[in-house]
DNA sequence: AAGCATCTGTACAAATTCCGTACAATGAGG
DNA sequence: CCTCATTGTACGGAATTTGTACAGATGCTT
């Protein structure tokens, strides 16, 4: 990290951020995004905060915001991640998350269901997924890997949440939108992230065909052949679940658009695009 | 904090929702579905709330509602500004309630069932009962008493809902919890509140014996004698249905615990305890 | 002083959006 | 069968937004 006093000139900032100098000046002039100090001779001297603002600006642009709006948000220092924004701006969401967590940790089904009820009642599905459920699952995974959480806990929580999410997905293959075919890679059992992704897609108008965890490639290919979906998504938490599928997926990708998702997707496999790690943001990007 | 809402231009909103820009403008002009802010040059700037409204609109369209109707519901349900939402308003639950109400008012059974399907899929029984169904029944009663609703409407809605609730109650006699015996007072025909109460009790582990509307005291006493329930509940919407039963109930109360419920229960009758007016909270209190 | 970086101001072109109006398909009602 | 309302879509000229480019002058480093 750069020292707080380390001032950058425009060329260096441009190199670091990948934004052309002309554009940096345009953003300053048009939106007041940056207010760099000046050297004696008039050169712009950017601080670390300026660099952060540029990164934020780029994030917002990548998500499709207009430059003017992206600049407005970036100038306010708005954190780019929807999760933290929402959790930070809403004590109710944080309270609901805490309630859910303590109920699940204590194997208290009734409390957990009630907490989920309140959350879904007060917030949109996307907000609850991205702001509570997915973060909880990540945390649970970490606690499991460090031995803080038991297998039983993980199963209890997963099954309860899976039931709720599948309930939300009722009728998700109806309608007239494009169809998406989703499945976990062979051997992969963690399907909650994929379900969250499917839910978000459905709420954007997609029809969903969900094959579930541990799906053989043949089944996937066969189903894809029959349904001719607009998109096929394969999810895996580890890269080693995907590498054996390279050839089959490449073959499939010749006919339909195929993407990989989940922590194992990395930057994509053999030219097949990878989705963002956060299912909700990923769905918005499709 | 206003920062949470990033403003989208029409192209990005179109990409995210899959609705053509022309159509977004048409919905705005024809139904006032969206009221986007404007950039200095006149470009539309949509908020997160607008995006939610479009999603809702699409959901309603997918279920076969006419565009005008879908827009009315979407505007109603998605009305919440970020602030209002955080205050505890409930977009999903409210949207479902609006859909149910509109379907029941229009004698549209399929739509009503579909709305109930979605509600029960997304929320627990208690939440749907307490948050949608019972409030709707109260409102319907008021509209009926002011002449805004017809008898036919009230019957149609009651019967449809009764069918659903009794369906949920299938097998509520099984289990090994304490037993509750429930009946409406003689002359009393409104049993939906009592059914809601029974459902909630059952989900707390109770076994239910339900005698239904207009139950003679003798039948009640007889059944109580035979089953020896841990609790007997008598429901009535008007006090005058209960007063003739005072002696019989007092006799019964000597052997088992007896409570009265419903709007007619008031503060209790002759030392017999009354339940809270809201069946769901009442059941939780028992 | 040479060579490169940066400054200000203006300009431009591609992409996007605006608005009003029109049109085609659909279905309900007379 | 005809009429009419509804609803999704299309067109086309004008305006806006936004990334990029250029010119001439000045600053910084070797």
Among the partner-chain residues B58, B88, B124, the one whose CB lies closest to the CB of A122 is B88
Pairing of the two strands B231-235 and B207-210: unpaired
Output the pLDDT for position A82.
44
List chain B residues with CB under 8 Å of A89.
1, 4, 86
Chain B nearest C-alpha distance from A147 (Å): 32
Kindly state whether B41 is in contact with chain A, defined as any CB-CB distance less than 8 angstroms.
Answer: no
Residue B88 has pLDDT above 60, yes or no: no
The predicted structure's pLDDT at residue B123: 92
> Is A253 exposed, middle or buried (CB count within 10 Å of its CB: 0-12, 13-18, 19+)?
middle
Q: Determine contact: B58 vs chain A, CB below 8 A.
A: yes
**Range B224-251 average pLDDT:** 89
Structure-token pair, residue B115: 């709305």
Q: Please state which of the ranges A25-34, A90-99, B220-229, B264-273 shows the lowest mean pLDDT.
A: B264-273
Which nucleotide minimizes the distance between its C1' and the CA of A61? D18
Instruction: Record the tokens describing residue A233, joined without a space.
Output: 């998504």
Please answer yes or no on whether A65 and B12 come within 8 Å at the CB atom. Answer: yes
Q: Do B45 and A203 touch (CB under 8 A)?
A: no
Higher pLDDT, B110 or A116: A116
**pLDDT computed for residue A121 by the predictor:** 86
Mean pLDDT of A241-260: 88
pLDDT of residue A268: 60
Question: Considering chain B, what is the average pLDDT of its residues?
Answer: 84
Nearest to A122 among B17, B55, B90 (CB): B90
A89 burial level (CB within 10 Å; 0-12, 13-18, 19+) = middle
Q: Which residues pair with A8 in a beta bridge?
A: A46
The whole-angstrom separation of Cα A112 and Cα A115 is 5
Q: Contacts of residue B58 in chain A, CB cutoff 8 Å?
A: 205
A178's torsion region: left (phi>0), alpha (psi -120 to 50) or beta?
beta
CA distance, residue A14 to nearest chain B CA (Å): 26
- Tokens coding A42: 């008039």
- Long-range contacts of residues B40-48, Cβ cutoff 8 Å, at least 24 apart: B43/A66, B43/B9, B43/B10, B44/B9, B44/B10, B45/A66, B45/A69, B45/B7, B45/B8, B45/B9, B46/B7, B46/B8, B46/B9, B46/B10, B46/B13, B47/B5, B47/B7, B48/B4, B48/B5, B48/B6, B48/B82
**pLDDT tens track for A131-140:** 899 999 989 9
Tell me whether B121 touches chain A (CB under 8 Å): yes
Token pair 């990033």: residue: B6
Angle between helical axes of B134-145 and B91-105 (0-180°, round to 10): 40
Residue of chain B nearest A65, judged by CA positions: B8
Residues contacting residue B54 through CB under 8 Å, at least 6 positions apart? B13, B17, B19, B24, B27, B33, B34, B74
Chain D nucleotides covered by protein, CB below 7 Å: 6-11, 15-22, 26-28
The whole-number average pLDDT for the span B174-192 is 90
DSSP secondary structure letter of residue B272: B
Q: Which residues, including other chains, have CB under 8 Å from residue A102's CB and lie 6 or more apart?
A: A111
Chain A residue closest to B122 (CA)?
A: A168
Q: Give per-residue pLDDT as tens, B11-38.
A: 999 988 889 999 999 999 999 999 999 9
Residue A87: its chain B contacts at CB < 8 A? Answer: none
**Averaged pLDDT, A73-94:** 62
Closest nucleotide to B61's CA, by C1' atom?
Answer: D7
Binary contact (A69, B124; C-beta < 8 A): no
Residue B93 has pLDDT above 60, yes or no: yes
How many Cβ pairs within 8 Å bridge chains A and B? 94
Of all nucleotides in the shown strands, which has a C1' nearest the CA of B24?
D8
Q: Supply the pLDDT for residue B233.
A: 92
pLDDT tier for residue B155 given thresholds of 50, 70 and 90: confident
**Which of helix, strand or coil describes residue B200?**
helix
pLDDT at position B84 over 50: no
pLDDT on residue B56: 87
Report pLDDT digits (tens) over B103-131.
888 888 888 898 999 999 999 999 999 88
CA distance A14 to A9: 9
Report pLDDT for B91.
73
- Helix (H) or strand (E) holding B245, with range, is none
Tokens encoding B88: 């505890």
- B89 CB near a chain A CB, below 8 Å? yes
**Tally of CA atoms within 13 A in the half-sphere of B145 that contains its CB:** 5
Q: Can you read off the two tokens belonging to residue A182?
A: 């989703």
Is residue B268 predicted with pLDDT exceeding 70? Answer: no
Tokens (6 digits) for A277: 């790690």
Q: Looking at residue A89, what is its pLDDT?
A: 55
Q: Which of A50, A52, A56, A6 is nearest to A28 (CA)?
A: A50
Q: What residues of A are in contact with residue B1 (Cβ under 8 Å)?
A: 89
Confidence of residue A83 (pLDDT cuts 50, 70, 90): very low
DSSP state of B228: -
The predicted pLDDT at position A75 comes to 85
Helix axes A134-145, A91-105, angle to 10 degrees: 40
Give the CA B76 to C1' D4 distance in Å: 29
Assess whether pLDDT exceeds 80 at residue B4.
no
Specify whether the CB–CB gap between A252 and A267 falls below 8 A.
Answer: no
Rounded to the nearest integer, the mean pLDDT of chain A is: 85
In DSSP terms, which residues pair with A208 in a beta bridge?
Answer: A180
Would you tell me which residues have their CB within 7 A of strand C?
A: A 9-12, 14, 21-22, 25-26, 42-44; B 9-12, 14, 21-22, 25, 42-44
**DSSP one-letter code for B240:** G
A217 shares contact with chain B (CB less than 8 Å): no
pLDDT given for residue B107 in this prediction: 82
pLDDT of residue B176: 86
Give the other-Cβ count within 10 Å of A121's Cβ.
21
Of B151, B131, B149, B129, nearest to B140 (Cα)?
B149
Measured between CB atoms, does B274 come within 8 Å of chain A? no
Cα distances (Å, whole numbers) of residue B168 to B162, B194, B198: 10, 14, 10
pLDDT band at B279 (very low <50, low <70, confident <90, very high): low
């Amino acid at each position: 990290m750069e020292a707080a006093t380390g001032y950058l000139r425009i060329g260096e900032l441009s190199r670091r951020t990948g934004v052309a100098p002309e554009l940096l000046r345009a953003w300053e002039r048009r939106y007041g995004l940056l207010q760099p100090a000046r050297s004696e001779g008039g050169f712009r001297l950017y601080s670390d905060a300026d660099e952060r603002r540029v990164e934020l600006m780029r994030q917002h642009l990548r998500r499709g915001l207009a430059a003017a709006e992206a600049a407005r948000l970036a100038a306010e220092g708005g954190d780019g991640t929807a999760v933290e924004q929402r959790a930070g701006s809403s004590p109710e969401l944080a309270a609901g998350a805490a309630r859910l967590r303590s109920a699940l940790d204590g194997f208290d089904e009734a409390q957990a269901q009630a907490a989920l009820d309140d959350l879904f009642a007060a917030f949109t599905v996307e907000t609850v997924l991205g702001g509570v459920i997915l973060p909880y699952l990540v945390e649970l995974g970490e606690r499991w890997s460090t031995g803080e959480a038991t297998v039983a806990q993980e199963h209890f929580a997963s099954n309860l949440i899976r039931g709720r999410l599948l309930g939300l997905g009722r009728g998700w293959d109806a309608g007239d939108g494009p169809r998406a075919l989703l499945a976990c890679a062979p051997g992969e059992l963690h399907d909650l992230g994929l379900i969250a992704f499917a839910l978000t897609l459905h709420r954007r108008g997609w029809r969903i065909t969900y094959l579930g965890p541990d799906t053989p490639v043949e089944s996937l290919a066969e189903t894809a052949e029959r349904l001719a979906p607009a998109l096929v998504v394969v999810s895996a938490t580890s890269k080693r679940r995907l590498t054996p599928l390279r050839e089959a997926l490449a073959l499939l990708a010749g006919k339909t658009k195929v993407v990989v998702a989940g922590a194992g997707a990395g930057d994509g496999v053999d030219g097949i695009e990878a989705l963002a790690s956060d299912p909700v943001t990923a769905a918005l990007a499709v």
